[in-house]
């Protein structure tokens, strides 16, 4: 560990427990007639993380590899005792596994993050399951984490988990590492839930990526999609009053293990000079790996250089993956047919150009293949890092292999001495193969020795240590930094507001201008807030509207400031300078509203009471005992639906409105059009500030043509259509004070 920053408890950091949260535990459970076997997961990440967990003490949270139904049928799963490491399984049902992992993770996030937009499935059901599973992982991590632990969340399966963790444990130290690429903003925003995913990741103290370009894509998305203030040079995104470190930490391999296994290979690779040049590819079955394009390059090589026939042999090791998924089965058939066609076209007696192995090879078998291969052909169409490239390099103990590497792989940032190729350019890959085959010994050894030095200096153990150190520093800064969410919001709004000569500002009342109160009549506006509203009403180029679910006369009386536009009853009635509106369908529902109000009162539920507001009504639940609120809410909703009213649940309230397509969002647009003209976006900037579910209609209506702010204390796991957040009414009044000063107006040159 590095020294802690001044003022931090370096000793505590050295001893701080570590909680690893990943989709899978470091083993999988397999059951047969003899019982359950826990099969260890291969790979350097497990071998690097477990010693750190043993040293510091900690927990590994993840799925154990079998469905909840199978585990329950077998009487549960017994996990191993591993000294200072505890394993905490997260159960998943068969349906959840299909929708969360097979669905949203691998049919939505995986293709999109690898730039295969046409393969990306947009499905609301799988998204909802993803949310639910991420919340369960977060709850498991929060429950299992020892006091003061650093919680390290891994990869695309758990992008939303940090938001739920932050809600459950606001002061927790949380870091995240994405093992796959992070796409450019214009690709990422294809996903309807892109903002929610960003909010999840930004709940961390440190967000780590494989290479700097992915970190820059993330910062750009945070800025463009969430309105965050970002410092690209420093690698910082400011979100909800917090500074989040955004850094590149390229993952690596267990070099010592690969070298040890390579050292056991007794026969030198070039013992027989007449043997073919061995070319090797090792990949999981996936369309992103470029296996088909690679085979096309082998075919083109043999076409263009007929003298190489019988002199080269290509071996493709392919690890089976997602065999039950139709598109992967189709890919497998395509590869089978392509290999058969190439071999049928070029094979001669005693020589077949392509060998094709479809199985999982343990390191003890894979590393000798690296050692015996003259060339590694590592050409994914897109890859977060690609550790096969690094494993091949580490196995070249005599520095005499050649690595051909896709420039679309994250590893290309580090392994510049490889022959870098565009994997989509079959001709270029074929020529790189020819160059590698005829390369001189001096060039080959110069390139490989440089590659080996770099890989050895940055092995997976170094990666873990550096990432944990960076997470500790980021958490220390996050815990000590004091950032004003109002200042952050103001800095983000200022350039946008200044692009138009006027601002149309819409403010909710309860929960936005004044704190929520047990009863509506108790939600009185502070005199300082009222004075700020008066100042704002006098500000040139600032058009101020108060929007409320209260009756129009009620909200006007509560605010008590003349010259404003008031919107009451969720938009069904509007009055202001030069503007009067009452929705035509509202009066037609008066009889239904009165009948519903009488029926709600007749429920006689303890603490529940009806607020009659003329054109709408509210059934308040705040004074209902907590253990009876769900029942009371359901009963109220039944009453309202039976009267054919529109039901809108809110914060401890159920709203009943006329069953017409009208809400705060439509009312806001009505005010803008009648006050500023149909082309109002060219004339004014529209900004809406609200705090509850009914304000989401306005947030959505202004999406793309205005801006909105959700008032909510603390980082909320529930997504919102708002562009920004402020913590409380006090922060709203602070922002209003800045607007009332006219600071948004661009100074004239």
User: What are the φ and ψ backbone dihedral angles of 130, each rounded to 5 degrees?
Assistant: -60, -45
**Domain annotation covers residue 464:** no
**Domain annotation covers residue 64:** yes
CB atoms inside a 10 Å sphere around CB 460: 23
Q: Are strands 402-406 and 419-421 parallel, antiparallel or unpaired?
A: parallel
Q: Is 20 helix (H, G, I), strand (E, B) or coil?
A: strand
| CB 660 within 8 Å of CB 667 | no
Question: pLDDT per residue over 676-730, tens digit each?
Answer: 999 999 999 999 999 988 899 999 999 999 999 999 876 655 788 999 999 999 9
**pLDDT at 267 > cutoff 80:** no
**pLDDT at 2 > cutoff 80:** no
Q: Do residues 727 and 654 share a domain? A: no
Q: Do residues 110 and 144 share a domain? A: yes
Lookup: tokens for 384: 């977060």
Separation between Cα atoms, residue 634 and residue 192, nearest integer Å: 30
Q: Considering the chain, what is the average pLDDT of its residues?
A: 89
pTM exceeding 0.95: no
Q: Do residues 652 and 666 share a domain? A: no
Q: Quick one: pLDDT at residue 715?
A: 60
**Domain annotation covers residue 344:** yes
Residues annotated as catalytic are: 508
- Which uninterrupted H or E stretch holds 427? helix 426-438
Question: pLDDT per residue over 427-480, tens digit each?
Answer: 999 999 999 999 999 999 999 999 999 999 999 999 999 999 999 999 998 877
Lookup: tokens for 505: 């500002």
**Domain annotation covers residue 462:** no
Question: pLDDT per residue over 590-640, tens digit each?
Answer: 788 888 888 888 888 899 888 888 888 888 888 889 889 998 989 998 988
**pLDDT at 74 > cutoff 70:** no
**Domain annotation covers residue 477:** no
Q: Going by C-beta distance under 8 Å and a sequence separation of 6 or more, which residues neighbour residue 41?
A: 24, 25, 26, 27, 28
Q: Are strands 242-248 and 277-284 parallel, antiparallel or unpaired?
A: unpaired
| CB 477 within 8 Å of CB 206 | no
CA angle (280 as vertex; 276, 286 as ends), nearest 5: 150
Separation between Cα atoms, residue 341 and residue 356, nearest integer Å: 13
For 585-663, where are the alpha helices, taking DSSP H only?
A: 590-603, 629-642
Q: Quick one: pLDDT at residue 622?
A: 86
CA angle (359 as vertex; 356, 361 as ends), nearest 5: 105
Q: Do residues 343 and 312 share a domain? A: yes
Q: Do residues 368 and 356 share a domain? A: yes
Q: Do residues 654 and 667 share a domain? A: no
Q: Do residues 207 and 263 share a domain? A: no
Mark which of 212, 230, 248 sits at the end of a domain. 248
Q: Quick one: pLDDT at residue 490?
A: 83
CATH number reported for the structural domain that contains residue 423 in this entry = 3.40.50.2000
**Domain annotation covers residue 468:** no
CATH number reported for the structural domain that contains residue 606 in this entry = 3.30.70.1020
Separation between Cα atoms, residue 102 and residue 111, nearest integer Å: 12
Q: Do residues 146 and 29 share a domain? A: yes
When divided into structural domains, the chain yields a total of 4
- Least-confidence region, from 159-163, 447-451, 546-550, 647-651: 647-651
User: What are the φ and ψ backbone dihedral angles of 280, each rounded to 5 degrees?
Assistant: -125, 135
CB atoms inside a 10 Å sphere around CB 256: 14
Q: Do residues 648 and 501 share a domain? A: no
Q: Going by C-beta distance under 8 Å and a sequence separation of 6 or more, which residues neighbour residue 186?
A: none
Q: Do residues 260 and 242 share a domain? A: no
Q: Quick one: pLDDT at residue 716?
A: 58
**Domain annotation covers residue 209:** yes
CB atoms inside a 10 Å sphere around CB 309: 15
Mark which of 625, 660, 695 sits at the end of a domain. 660
Of 396 and 69, the structure prediction assigns the larger pLDDT to: 396
Q: Do residues 112 and 167 share a domain? A: yes
Domain span at 547: 485-583+662-749
Lookup: tokens for 153: 């969340």
- Least-confidence region, from 178-187, 441-450, 733-742: 733-742
Q: Do residues 647 and 669 share a domain? A: no
**Domain annotation covers residue 466:** no
Looking at residue 311, what DSSP letter applies? T
Q: Quick one: pLDDT at residue 232?
A: 93
Question: pLDDT per residue over 479-488, tens digit each?
Answer: 776 667 887 8
Instruction: Give the confidence band of 393 by pLDDT, cuts at 50, 70, 90.
Output: very high
Question: pLDDT per residue over 183-219, tens digit each?
Answer: 999 999 999 999 899 999 999 999 999 999 999 999 9
Mark which of 248, 280, 313 sits at the end of a domain. 248
Sheet of 150-154: strand order equals: 85-89, 58-63, 18-24, 150-154, 173-177, 206-209, 242-248, 236-239, 229-231
CATH number reported for the structural domain that contains residue 533 in this entry = 3.40.50.1000
């Amino acid at each position: 560990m590095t020294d802690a920053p001044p003022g931090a408890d370096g000793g505590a950091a050295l001893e701080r427990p570590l909680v690893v949260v990943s989709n899978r535990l470091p083993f999988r459970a397999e059951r047969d007639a003899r019982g359950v076997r826990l099969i260890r997961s291969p790979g350097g990440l497990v071998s690097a993380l477990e010693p750190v967990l043993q040293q510091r003490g900690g927990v590994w949270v993840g799925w154990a590899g079998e469905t909840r139904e199978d585990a329950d049928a077998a009487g549960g799963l017994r996990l191993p005792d591993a000294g200072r490491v505890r394993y905490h399984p997260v159960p998943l049902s068969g349906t959840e596994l299909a929708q969360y992992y097979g669905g949203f993770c691998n049919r939505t996030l995986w293709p999109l993050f690898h730039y295969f937009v046409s393969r990306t499935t947009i499905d609301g059901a799988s998204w909802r399951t993803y949310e639910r599973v991420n919340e369960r992982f977060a709850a498991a991590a929060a429950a299992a984490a020892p006091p003061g632990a650093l919680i390290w969340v891994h990869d695309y399966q758990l992008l939303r988990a940090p938001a739920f963790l932050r809600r459950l444990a606001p002061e927790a130290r949380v870091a995240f590492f994405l093992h796959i690429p992070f796409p450019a903003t214009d690709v990422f925003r294809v996903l309807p839930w892109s903002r929610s995913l960003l909010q999840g990741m930004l709940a961390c103290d440190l967000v780590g990526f494989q290479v700097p370009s992915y970190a820059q894509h993330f910062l750009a998305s945070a800025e463009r999609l969430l309105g965050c203030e970002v410092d690209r040079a420093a690698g910082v995104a400011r979100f909800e009053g917090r500074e989040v470190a955004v850094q590149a930490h390229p993952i690596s391999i267990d070099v010592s293990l690969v070298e040890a296994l390579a050292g056991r290979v007794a026969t030198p690779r070039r013992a027989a000079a007449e043997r073919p040049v061995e070319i090797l590819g090792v990949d999981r079955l996936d369309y992103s790996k470029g296996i088909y394009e690679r085979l096309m390059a082998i075919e083109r090589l043999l076409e263009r250089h007929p003298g190489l026939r019988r002199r080269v042999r290509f071996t493709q090791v392919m690890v089976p993956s997602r065999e039950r998924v139709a598109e992967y089965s189709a890919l497998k058939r395509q590869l089978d047919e392509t290999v058969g066609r190439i071999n049928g076209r070029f094979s001669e007696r005693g020589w077949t150009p392509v060998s094709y192995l479809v199985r999982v090879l343990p390191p003890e078998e894979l590393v000798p293949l690296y050692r015996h291969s003259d060339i590694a052909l590592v050409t994914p169409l897109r890859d977060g890092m690609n550790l096969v490239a690094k494993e091949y390099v580490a196995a070249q103990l005599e520095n005499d292999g050649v690595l051909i590497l896709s420039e679309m792989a994250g590893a290309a940032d580090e392994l510049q001495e490889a022959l870098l190729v565009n994997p989509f350019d079959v001709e270029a890959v074929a020529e790189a193969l020819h160059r590698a085959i005829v390369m001189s010994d001096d060039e080959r050894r110069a390139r490989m020795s440089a590659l080996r030095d770099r890989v050895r200096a940055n092995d997976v153990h170094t990666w873990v240590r550096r990432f944990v150190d960076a997470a500790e520093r980021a958490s220390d800064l996050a815990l000590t930094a004091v950032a004003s969410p109002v200042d952050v919001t103001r800095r983000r709004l200022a350039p946008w507001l200044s692009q138009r000569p006027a601002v149309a500002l819409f403010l909710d009342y309860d929960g936005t201008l004044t704190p929520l109160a047990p009863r509506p009549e108790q939600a009185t506006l502070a005199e300082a807030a009222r004075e700020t509203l008066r100042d704002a009403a006098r500000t040139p180029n600032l058009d101020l509207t108060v929007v409320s679910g209260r009756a129009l006369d009620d909200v006007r009386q509560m605010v008590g400031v003349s010259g404003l536009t008031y919107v009451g009853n969720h938009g069904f009635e509007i009055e202001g300078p030069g503007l009067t509106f009452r929705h035509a369908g509202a009066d037609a529902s008066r009889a239904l509203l009165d009948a519903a109000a009488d029926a709600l009162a007749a429920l006689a539920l303890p603490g529940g009471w009806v607020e009659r507001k003329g054109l709408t009504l509210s059934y308040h639940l705040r004074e209902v005992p907590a253990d009876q609120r769900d029942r009371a809410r359901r009963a109220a909703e039944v009453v309202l639906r039976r009267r054919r009213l529109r039901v809108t649940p809110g914060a401890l309230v159920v709203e009943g409105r006329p069953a017409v397509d009208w809400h705060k969002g439509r009312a806001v647009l009505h005010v803008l059009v009648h006050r500023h003209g149909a082309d109002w976006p060219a004339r004014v900037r529209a900004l809406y500030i609200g705090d509850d579910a009914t304000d989401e209609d306005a947030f959505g209506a202004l999406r793309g043509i205005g801006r909105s702010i959700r008032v909510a204390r603390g980082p909320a796991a529930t997504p919102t259509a708002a562009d920004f957040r402020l913590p409380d009414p006090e922060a709203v009044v602070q922002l209003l004070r800045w607007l009332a000063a006219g600071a948004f107006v661009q100074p004239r040159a």
